[in-house]
Amino acid sequence: MWVVVVLVLSALAKPEAVVNRDTSYPTEDACKAAIARNVPARLDAKHKEAVEQGYRRYICVRVPAPETPKPEAPKTEAPKAK
């Protein structure tokens, strides 16, 4: 699965990465299409300019699917010595 990550770097502050955990996509292409479709329309002028100038990036990052726990094997008792 793929998620959108917003990346912002600043010379005077720590890098900031924000993961959109609300929505995931089955492929990288679907993720990129969602960015192209949704991001420009939702940004204010300041953030839009930051994207255009390369100071703010929206990228797709692959996330491993959560592992399902394996059922424990039934425990067998060793025969008792007589």
Min mean pLDDT across 10-19, 47-56, 72-81 is at 72-81
Instruction: Please give the span between the terminal C-alpha atoms of the chain, in angstroms, as a whole number.
Output: 56
Average pLDDT of the residues in 15-27: 91
**pLDDT at residue number 77:** 64
What predicted TM-score, i.e. pTM, was given to this entire model?
0.70
Q: How far apart are CA 6 and CA 2, in angstroms?
A: 13
Q: Are 63 and 1 in contact (CB under 8 A)?
A: yes
pLDDT given for residue 5 in this prediction: 95
CA distance 78 to 36: 62
Are the C-beta atoms of 5 and 60 separated by less than 8 Å?
yes
pLDDT of residue 24: 93
Helix (H, G, I), strand (E, B) or coil at 42: helix
35-71: per-residue pLDDT in tens? Answer: 999 888 889 999 999 999 998 999 999 998 777 666 6
